Amino acid sequence: MRTPEIFIRAADWAHARDFGCPAGIGLRRVLLELTGPPRVGACTLHAPVPLPASWQVREVVVSWPATSPGVDIVVLVHPDPLPAAARSRIALGLQEVIVVRQLPEEPPFPAGLLPAVRSRLLHGEIRALAARHPRLADELLALAGPAPTITRTPRVAVISPDPDTRVELPGIDIADDAHVDAVLAVAPPGGWTTADHPTLADAARRAGRLVSTAPLPAGIPGTLVPPGRPPVEAVRHALTLPADPLPDARPGTWLRAAEQLERRRRVLLDTHLTDLVTRRAVGELAQLAHEQGLPPSSPPRLREQLGQALLMAFVVGLAACRAVWAAGPLAAATAGMLAALAAGGLRWWRGRREAQSRWAAEEAARLRRAPEHAPAVWLRRTLAKELT
């Protein structure tokens, strides 16, 4: 089995990092996790399911929708047609989701599936490392490369009162089961009758997307094929729309998600500020304060350091001049000037670094005390209204 190119690039980059580099350590840990035995978990839409003992895999306990990066393949046990939300989750990736009616004695996936899945997971882990280590973000993002595309041929069912109806849908699989992304309803010449309403309503409920060649009855959501246009255009347009019915709103869950995102933003901001303080990046700190909507602070004042450098240069230059005065006035003046430049320049360089470090630490503390982003405040206020 050929090793994916992204694994080779990641291993070379991690090996070239200095000893003790946090990003290199993190990437090596990820590579070690992604080169072990297949990590497989099984579940229903409501609870985890234990794997058979005959499967030679590393079992992971998962719960739907199984978004953890700690699993490669999710086996979803569901005997009935999947709801639209579950099909959308499967199409999203990054893990591979295999749908079965019941768990077989042997794994229901080929061994060659694992490299592609783990390449997608490694891409996401490298991008997460780039967010945690801003100084190496450019290198890590270049290492990750473009995001892998998850291509899947849409599956569409065609229904009609006329059993001999045939429709051409180029680039789309026409299926005769309930596990489809949309339903194309081909109406008879006279349009839909009252007897067709239950079938149309059931198709819209099961598939989540209904496309009709004739106007639909009131109360049945769907997309109408424009007159004179091929049905495939309306089907492809419907596949870009959210599936109906939409999930029930759960403001409490969204509020917890908003709080988690705000905590994550704080952690990433703290990591970024620590890096900027270490580098004494005065300009980047000022730009970050501007992006956060804070008033600009005065730059570090260096008058005290300049005075100390001049005084140090005068004292050291005078002492050097007196020490070599016996060699002649020219030699004494040259020695004094060189000593003054060296001592004054060194004191100025150190004083400037110390002043910038103090200013950077104070600016970072001001940024950490800054209030939440306006979008986060708006989201909390909106969700609080929904909860009341």
Rounded Cα gap, residues 35 and 28, in angstroms: 11
Peptide bond into 245 cis (omega under 30): yes
Nearest to 353 by CA among 282, 289, 298, 292: 282
Confidence check: pLDDT of 249 > 70: no
Q: What's the pLDDT score for residue 15?
A: 92
pLDDT in tens, 39-53: 999 999 989 999 998
Average pLDDT of the segment spanning 239-244: 77
Rounded Cα gap, residues 84 and 82, in angstroms: 6
The answer to whether 244 and 208 are in contact (CB under 8 A) is yes
Nearest to 66 by CA among 79, 53, 78, 81: 78
| Dihedral sign of CA atoms 90, 95, 97, 103 in order | negative
The structure tokens 């929904």 sit at: 386
The answer to whether 183 and 205 are in contact (CB under 8 A) is no
Report the range out of 21-30, 260-269, 362-371 with the highest average pLDDT: 21-30
pLDDT in tens, 147-185: 776 667 888 999 999 888 888 889 888 888 777 888 999
Confidence check: pLDDT of 90 > 80: yes
Q: What's the pLDDT score for residue 88?
A: 76
Rounded Cα gap, residues 268 and 272, in angstroms: 6
Residue 98 DSSP one-character state? E
pLDDT in tens, 300-352: 788 888 888 889 888 988 898 888 888 888 888 888 899 889 988 898 888 88
Rounded Cα gap, residues 49 and 42, in angstroms: 5
Nearest to 224 by CA among 188, 189, 187: 187
Confidence check: pLDDT of 73 > 90: yes
Domain ranges of the chain: 5-144, 155-239, 251-383
- Quickly count helices (H) and strands (E) in the chain: 12, 10
Percent of the chain whose predicted confidence (pLDDT) is above 70: 95
Q: What is the pTM of this model?
A: 0.55
Confidence check: pLDDT of 193 > 70: yes
Split at pLDDT 50, 70, 90, the class of 376 is low
